[in-house]
Amino acid sequence: MRTADRYLPASPPLPLSTFFDRRERAGSVFPFSAPRGRWYFLGRNALWHGLRSLRFDEGDEVLVPAYNSGAEVDAIVAAGLSPRFFRVGIDLMPDVHDMQSRISQRTRALLAIHYFGFPQPLTELTAFCTRNGLLLVEDCAPALFSRDGHVPLGTTGVFSVFSPHKTLPLPHGGFLVINGPKIDPPAEPEEPPPSYGIELLPRRLLQGVEMRYPELMRWARRTFRLQMGAWNGPNGSSGATYDESFDPATADMGASTVVQELALRSNPAFVVQARRRNYRRLGSLLPRDGQLSPDLPVGVCPLFFPFFVADRAAAVRSLKAKGIELFPYWSTPHPAIPAGAFPEAEHLRAHLLALPVYQGLSREDVEYLAGAVSVVARAQYAMAPAQ
C-alpha cells in the first residue's frame, strides 16, 4: 500500500468547479472548432472511421511507426487494412529511408504520431507523401491544442484524430477532423447509454481531493474498506493501466453529452500555459542526461515529460511507493510487430518514463516529482538517449 504523504495521479483530476462553470471556451479553438469534426467514444474509433472514409480497398497498406500504443494498429486492421511498420529513432523522429524501403504497390497512406505533443517533421513527411502518392494521416491523440510553430497540429493531414481525455480530465472522448475536401465525413455517431463511460468521473474528482487532502482520503479509504469492502478509488488498484485494444462493439459510439460539455468548458490557453510551465520547471530540476526533449518548442502543449531511466518497471514501482502514479506508457508492443525488428522502439518501451505535467500540478507537486525521479534516476544510473 502507498504510504507517502503526497499523491500525484497519472491523469489530470477533475475540479468540482468545472460543473458550475457554464462558459464555453474550447468550442472556438481547434480541433473542436473544425467544421467537419465528429466526437467518438475513443480516439481509436475516430481513426477507424477516418480510414473507412478514405475508401481504400481491403488489404491496402498504411505505413505505421514501430513505436505506437497498439490501439492504432488494431483500428487499422479492423478497417481491413494492413500496417507496414517503419523505424523510429530514439529521438522519436521517423527514418525516411526506412519508410521508403517499406513501400509496396499497395501502400496508400502514412500515419504520423505526434509523440508527447511534439510535432513530427510535417514538411518532410508531406513531401514524402507527395513523392510516393500517399495520403498523410495525423495521430494527434497525444497532442491536443499543440501547434507546429503557429500551425495547429491536425490541420495538415487528410484527416486527424485526437483523444481529448488524455489531456483534459475526461473519462473518455475521441475526436475526428476531416481536412481533405474530397472526403465525406462519417455519419454522426451514436449516443452512448446515459451512464456509459462516465463512471470514472467520481474517480477523477476524488483524485483531486486526495492531491490536496491526502490524510483525509487515507481515512476515507480505510473507512470504506471496513464498511463497503474494497474501494477501487484513486489508490484502490494499480492505477495507470488501460486497454489498448480496439472494440468493434463501440466503433460507432460517440462521446457522451457530459464529456462534450466538459471538454468545451475547458480553457485551452490555461491548459497549454500550465503544461508548458510545469514542463519547463520539471526540466530545470531533473538530471539533464535523462531528458529526451529538454527544449520546449513554441506552440507545443506537452502531454508528458519523457525521461529515460535504466529500469522503467522498477522506477514505476519506486515512484508509486512515493504516491506518484505513472502510465505504463506503451510498454507492450503490438503482436504484429516482429520481435527484435525495431530495437529503438524496444529501447523506448523499456526505458522511457512518461512524467505528468498536467494542469492542476502546483509548484510543490512538480518539485516533489522532480526530487523523487532524481533519486530513482541516480540510483539506477539514468541512461542518456542514444545518439
Tell how far CA 385 is from the center of its chain.
21
Residues 6 or more apart in contact with residue 136 via CB below 8 angstroms: 109, 110, 112, 122, 125, 126, 129, 156, 157, 158
Do 99 and 145 meet the contact criterion of CB atoms below 8 Å apart? no
Give me the phi and psi of 82, to 5 degrees please: -115, 125
Q: Phi-psi category of 58—alpha, beta or left, where left has phi over 0 and alpha has psi -120 to 50?
A: beta
Q: 182 by DSSP, 3-state: which?
A: coil
Query: Is CATH 3.40.640.10 the right assignment for the domain spanning 17-178?
Result: yes
201-242+267-380: CATH topology is Aspartate Aminotransferase, domain 1 (3.90.1150)
Q: What is the pLDDT along the chain (387 residues), one digit of tens a residue?
A: 345 678 899 989 887 666 666 666 888 899 999 999 999 999 999 999 999 999 999 999 999 999 999 999 999 999 999 999 999 999 999 999 999 999 999 999 999 999 999 999 999 999 999 999 999 999 999 999 999 999 999 999 999 999 999 999 999 999 999 999 999 999 999 988 877 767 777 777 777 777 877 776 666 666 654 343 333 333 333 333 334 578 888 899 999 998 999 999 899 999 999 999 999 999 999 999 999 999 999 999 999 999 999 999 999 999 999 999 998 789 999 999 999 999 999 999 999 999 999 999 999 999 999 999 999 999 886 444 444
Task: Supply the pLDDT for residue 177.
Answer: 98
pLDDT of residue 317: 94
C-alpha cell at 7: 499523491
DSSP per position, 165-178: HHHSS-S--EEEEE
What are 139's three cell numbers? 495521430
* Cα–Cα distances in angstroms (integers) from residue 160 to residues 3, 153, 256, in the given order: 42, 9, 20
The ranges assigned to domains in the chain are: 17-178, 201-242+267-380
Q: Considering the entire predicted model, what is its pTM?
A: 0.90
